[in-house]
Amino acid sequence: HTDMPVLVLGESGTGKELVAQAIHQGSGRSASPFVSQHCAAIPANLLESEFFGHVKGSFTGAHRDKKGLFELADGGTLFLDEIGDMPQDLQSKLLRALETKTFTPVGSSREVAVDFRLVCATHKNLYKQVVMKTFRSDLFFRISAFPIRIPALRDRSEDIEKLVYHLAQQLSLGLGSGTSFKVEKDALWLLKTFPWPGNIRQLRNVVECLIIRSGGKVITAQ
């Protein structure tokens, strides 16, 4: 087992978070929390509080103490999706937390010690962002020691048939339509040759639509 940071690279919809979850489940931290956060989904004025937590009264609306993502992930894995969207001032604080394994909640003077494994993901070219000086080079080298690149679905068409049936089995149970789902040869050819710009996320949505329209039975090319 290792606590080395992992950087998962791939287009949107390729399943980067599933890879991160698999890394966590296969690690010595699997019994501890897996904390996931999309870096672009937090309002800029709340970023520091979300990551490091805050103490009561530290700013307007801080009615109670709050634990941040770092503290919630203590002992487990912190997954930061789309880290390329993280503001630079927060990048420097993340780097310090990685190097010292400590952080200071907003409005507090007390340092908190944490122990977490960091897994990051992005669809962006972080090296290009480093060259353009929109992403810190020291943080980039810290998080990219072990990169995992997930190919786009159009580059792994041989997996589509298995994925279709796997997704169909999952979705059929949720829709109550049974597991007799079958894809005719011509329909499978169409699925394999489509470029899938939205990758597996798009494939999942299409399979769900096909199950509903076919009554969960046979998918034809039409």
Q: At how many degrees (to 10) do helices 185-193 and 160-175 cross?
A: 110
Averaged pLDDT, 52-76: 86
Confidence of residue 171 (pLDDT cuts 50, 70, 90): confident
- Please give the Cα distance from 170 to 164 (Å, whole number): 10
Residue 204: its pLDDT value, please? 94
Residue 59: its pLDDT value, please? 78
Residue 182: its pLDDT value, please? 84
- Please give the Cα distance from 162 to 145 (Å, whole number): 32
Residue 60: its pLDDT value, please? 76
Confidence of residue 1 (pLDDT cuts 50, 70, 90): low
Confidence of residue 153 (pLDDT cuts 50, 70, 90): very high
Confidence of residue 131 (pLDDT cuts 50, 70, 90): very high
pLDDT digits over 189-222, tens only?
999 999 999 999 999 999 989 888 877 678 888 8
* One-letter identity of residue 115: D
- Please give the Cα distance from 138 to 99 (Å, whole number): 11
Strand, coil or helix: 152: coil
The mean pLDDT of the chain is 90
Residue 77: its pLDDT value, please? 96
Averaged pLDDT, 55-73: 85
Residue 191: its pLDDT value, please? 95
